[in-house]
């Protein structure tokens, strides 16, 4: 087991958990849904961390279980990004999004399964089906990016607003690379970028009262 790989997954668990709790604790619905999305991602990475440690024969099962929480997080992101829409329309959109998410999971679990594995260096590859790669990229772009814009625009302090906006956009891009890349060097560099950005995000947002001193 590569200790750097385990450290990467565990740091993702802790970072998304702490950030999720911080956002979830705010009264604004956009923050709450954004926090819920991060907490669901934390659970997903916890399941995948177990797979990295155990390297079970049924590795695909662990990845699929984690995917349940990852896909659920997309609904929470979607909800965070549409809070300014009329309530009745918002509820209809969330219902439609939930149905799409269920279909997405069924496709992922039964039609377009992944082929996860480890490199000789111990790096972990999700190796989703190419069709699922396309769907994941579009799903992340359409749900996470509007949610990031929604919460970033509510932070009055410009420095923290930019940090949230560009920090989480970087994490979305890193997530896309994590899902799609099969190159060891690319994954290694991407892992360090994700880790450093998450470190910057949680150390800044958790311990700075100034970040939350005034919220739109």
What is the pLDDT averaged over residues 103-121?
90
Q: pLDDT tens digit string along 132-186?
A: 999 999 999 999 999 999 999 999 889 999 999 999 999 999 999 998 888 999 9
- What is the phi-psi region of residue 177: left when phi exceeds 0, alpha when psi lies from -120 to 50, beta otherwise? alpha
Delimit the domains of the chain by residue range: 3-212
Dist CA 152 CA 147 (whole Å): 8
State the pTM of this model: 0.94
Statement: residue 92 has pLDDT above 70 = yes
Q: pLDDT tens digit string along 5-61?
A: 999 999 999 999 999 999 999 989 999 999 999 999 999 999 999 999 999 889 999
Residue located via tokens 């994590």: 178
CB neighbour list of residue 35: distance below 8 Å, 6 or more residues apart? 19, 20, 21, 22, 23, 24, 25, 26
């Amino acid at each position: 087991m590569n200790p750097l790989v385990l450290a990467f997954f565990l740091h993702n668990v802790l970072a998304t958990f702490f950030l999720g709790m911080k956002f979830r604790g705010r009264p604004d619905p956009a923050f709450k849904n954004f926090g819920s999305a991060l907490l669901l991602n934390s659970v997903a990475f916890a399941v995948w961390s177990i797979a990295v440690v155990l390297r079970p024969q049924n590795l695909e099962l662990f990845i699929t279980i984690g995917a349940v929480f990852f896909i659920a997080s997309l609904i929470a992101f979607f909800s965070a990004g549409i809070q300014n829409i009329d309530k009745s329309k918002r509820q209809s959109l969330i219902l439609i999004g939930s149905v799409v998410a269920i279909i997405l999971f069924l496709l992922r679990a039964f039609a377009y399964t992944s082929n996860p594995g480890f490199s000789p260096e111990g790096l972990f590859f999700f190796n989703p089906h190419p069709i699922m790669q396309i769907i994941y990229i579009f799903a992340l772009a359409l749900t996470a990016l509007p949610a990031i814009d929604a919460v970033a625009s509510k932070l009055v302090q410009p420095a923290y607003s930019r940090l949230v906006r560009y920090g989480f956009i970087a994490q979305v891009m890193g997530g896309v690379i994590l899902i799609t890349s099969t190159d060891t060097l690319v994954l290694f560099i991407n892992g360090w970028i994700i880790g450093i950005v998450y470190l910057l995000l949680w150390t800044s947002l958790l311990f700075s009262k100034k970040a939350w001193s005034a919220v739109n």
